[in-house]
Amino acid sequence: MAVAPLIYSWSAANTAGETKMKVTTGALFIAQCAGNVLGPNLYTTGEAPLYHRGLLSNLALFVVLIGLYAAQVFYLMILNKKHSSTHKRLGKPAFINDVSMS
């Protein structure tokens, strides 16, 4: 699944401290393994060929995932506004142009 590398990179990039990063990555790995164990049980041969329970659970989880991504975007927007107001209060420019990766 293409979302898994994105989740691992976001968790690693947004976790401060080596121990916390390892714990976060370990928790993600355990959750992924639990999903790999439980997921196939949602698709039983008795529901073939439509597999209503499995497809509905996948749809529900994707909706939850999209909601979490949207919540993260709004949370980061709020943090950026808070940081820009802190910069203004300290007499610095509100938006810092980082050219270190240019």
Q: Which residues, 6 or more positions from 24, have their beta carbon under 8 angstroms from its beta carbon?
A: 11, 12, 15
Assess whether 55 and 21 both reside in one domain: no
Site of tokens 């943090």: 79
Site of tokens 């910069």: 87
Q: pTM (2 decimals)? A: 0.66
Q: Compute the distance between CA of residue 18 and CA of residue 68 in angstroms, rounded to an integer.
A: 25
Assess whether 32 and 2 both reside in one domain: yes
Assess whether 6 and 36 both reside in one domain: yes
pLDDT given for residue 53 in this prediction: 93
Assess whether 84 and 59 both reside in one domain: yes
Q: Compute the distance between CA of residue 42 and CA of residue 64 in angstroms, rounded to an integer.
A: 18
Contact (Cβ atoms closer than 8 angstroms) between residue 12 and residue 21: yes
pLDDT given for residue 1 in this prediction: 63
Assess whether 1 and 37 both reside in one domain: yes
Assess whether 2 and 34 both reside in one domain: yes
Along the 102 residues of the chain, how does pLDDT read in single tens digits? Answer: 678 888 888 888 888 999 999 999 999 999 999 999 999 999 999 999 999 999 999 999 999 999 999 999 999 999 999 999 998 999 988 888 888 887
Total domains, the chain: 2
